[in-house]
Amino acid sequence: MKLPSAVLLLPVLSLMYAATCSAQQTAMLVNAPMPTAAVSGAEPESFSSSAMGVYPVSAPQVQEKKPGLKLLDWGLLGAASTLRVLDYTSTEKALTEPQYYHEAMLPNALVKNKPAFAAFEAGTVAVNYEAYRFLIHHNKRSLARAAQCVYVGAMTFQIAHNYQTLGQKPVQ
């Protein structure tokens, strides 16, 4: 039984929604007014605010750098892409013996149309890549990696099951 891609991406999308809700609260803190110098008349004249160590605070000058994909990120994306290719080949091999095997999750019209099925598998790779980059761009690298590990693990289990089933002789 194959898990559809939409089911595997559901946890990623729900976590992305939760992360955006908490980001709104963080934005309020970032946009808070900056503290000003000491109020005049609040200190004795013999002590100036600079002698007391009170200085106006300015926002730090941070250059925004777009986060890029690192080696581990490319490895996870490559593993997911490879598993999609193996899913395609295992399904195509199983469909050569329709008396023993059938597709459990995807519509037969899609699976029996080779170009459409290949396009579907390539589309899932593209959507996976874009979702991963979206999370990285929004500084959610650890979430992207965790979700990708779950996705790769689930796909690995399913592909291993497919090839194990194909390797066994069907009982007649």
* Residues 35, 56 contacting (CB under 8 angstroms): yes
Is the pLDDT score of 77 beyond 90?
A: yes
Is the pLDDT score of 29 beyond 60?
A: no
Number of other CB atoms surrounding residue 27 within 10 Å: 9
Structure tokens at 153: 């693990």
Domain annotation covers residue 24: no
Domain annotation covers residue 104: yes
pLDDT cut 70: percent of the chain above it: 60
Model's pTM, two decimal places?
A: 0.59
Residue 23 CA neighbour count, 13 Å, CB half: 10
Higher-pLDDT residue of 36 and 162 is: 162
Domain annotation covers residue 145: yes
The number of folded domains in the chain is: 1
Cα Rg, the chain, nearest whole Å: 27
Per the listing, tokens 């080949």 go with: 89
Confidence band of 100 (pLDDT split at 50, 70, 90): confident
- 169 — phi, psi (to 5°)? -80, 125
Domain annotation covers residue 130: yes
Domain annotation covers residue 18: no
Structure tokens at 98: 């329709």
Number of other CB atoms surrounding residue 71 within 10 Å: 7
| Ranges 2-6, 55-59, 161-165: which has the least confidence | 2-6
- What is the pLDDT, as a whole number, of residue 102? 80
- Domain encompassing residue 128: 68-172
Is the pLDDT score of 26 beyond 70?
A: no
Is the pLDDT score of 84 beyond 80?
A: yes
Per the listing, tokens 């689930």 go with: 154
Confidence band of 48 (pLDDT split at 50, 70, 90): low
Q: How far apart are CA 8 and CA 150, in angstroms?
A: 8
Confidence band of 95 (pLDDT split at 50, 70, 90): confident
Show the beta-strand stretches assigned E in 6-165: none
Domain annotation covers residue 139: yes
Domain annotation covers residue 23: no
- 41 — phi, psi (to 5°)? 90, -10
Is the pLDDT score of 150 beyond 70?
A: yes
- What is the pLDDT, as a whole number, of residue 76? 96
Q: How far apart are CA 103 and CA 121, in angstroms?
A: 14
Q: How far apart are CA 79 and CA 128, in angstroms?
A: 11
- What is the pLDDT, as a whole number, of residue 54? 62
Domain annotation covers residue 45: no
- What is the pLDDT, as a whole number, of residue 118? 94
**Mean pLDDT (the chain, rounded):** 79
